[in-house]
Amino acid sequence: NAGVTQTPKFQVLKTGQSMTLQCAQDMNHEYMSWYRQDPGMGLRLIHYSVGAGITDQGEVPNGYNVSRSTTEDFPLRLLSAAPSQTSVYFCASLGTAYEQYFGPGTRLTVT
Amino acid sequence: RKEVEQDPGPFNVPEGATVAFNCTYSNSASQSFFWYRQDCRKEPKLLMSVYSSGNEDGRFTAQLNRASQYISLLIRDSKLSDSATYLCAMNTGFQKLVFGTGTRLLVSP
């Protein structure tokens, strides 16, 4: 099992550019989520999905879109990047005992 | 008040010491509790779940105090390799987890 994979590992964007962060899991977990982690702020939930075709907003959803067409994939789209979106992004999937499995993260810098 | 609060530290301890962290929570409906470990520039990884009866795994002991609404993590015989940030987490509703901001531990020789 690869677990949760994310691409890219690093990305630099200019303000206004758009991009998609990829996330995939091979554990057949229904629940997946995206977090951002900033110094002193901890992990904040951006969007989550309880299964294919179902998504919902978390704590900080503005500026991000998600879709869930398959159980395995849960991409995060930045519509028009802003410097405030500079962060480390983690995708995660939830096991049956509420244990969270995280991907390795994407370090995003917006200039 | 934040849903989950942790002392950010850092806790500086010598090798072999015993160290304990607490994590307080405000949502009395929380049912599942966890401790995660996060190394610098890495993803968080599950360290252990916290059960009502307590949970021990080698040098690590986790406990839950529902009356005072906190969970604790005790590390005995600290190793250099225990240096990391320790995050507490709990579910606050249907499959949603809330994380603390983490407590940094530095173990020195």
- Which amino acid is residue A91, in one-letter code? C
Which of A100, A81, A88 has its CA nearest to residue A33?
Answer: A100
Q: Does the distance separating the beta carbons of A103 and B45 come in below 8 Å?
A: no
Helix, strand, or coil (residue B23): strand
* Long-range CB pairs of A68-71, under 8 A, 24+ apart, other chains included: A68/A32, A71/A28, A71/A29, A71/A30
Confidence band (pLDDT; 50, 70, 90) for A8? Answer: very high
Residue B95 has pLDDT above 70, yes or no: no
pLDDT in tens, B3-21: 899 999 999 999 999 999 9
What's the rounded Cα separation, in Å, for the pair B35 and B70? 12
Q: What is the pLDDT of residue B94?
A: 65
Question: In this complex, which of A58, A94, A97 lies closest to B49 when CB atoms are compared?
Answer: A97
Please provide the average confidence, as pLDDT, over all residues in chain A.
95
Among candidates A31, A48, A100 on the partner chain, residue whose Cβ is nearest the Cβ of B46: A100
Tokens 């942790």 -> residue: B6
Flag if B100 and A42 touch (Cβ within 8 Å). yes
**Residue B104 pLDDT class (50, 70, 90 cuts):** very high
- Give the model's confidence band at A55: pLDDT under 50 very low, under 70 low, under 90 confident, else very high: very high
Residue B79 scores a pLDDT above 90: yes
Q: Which residue has the higher pLDDT, A93 or A40?
A: A93
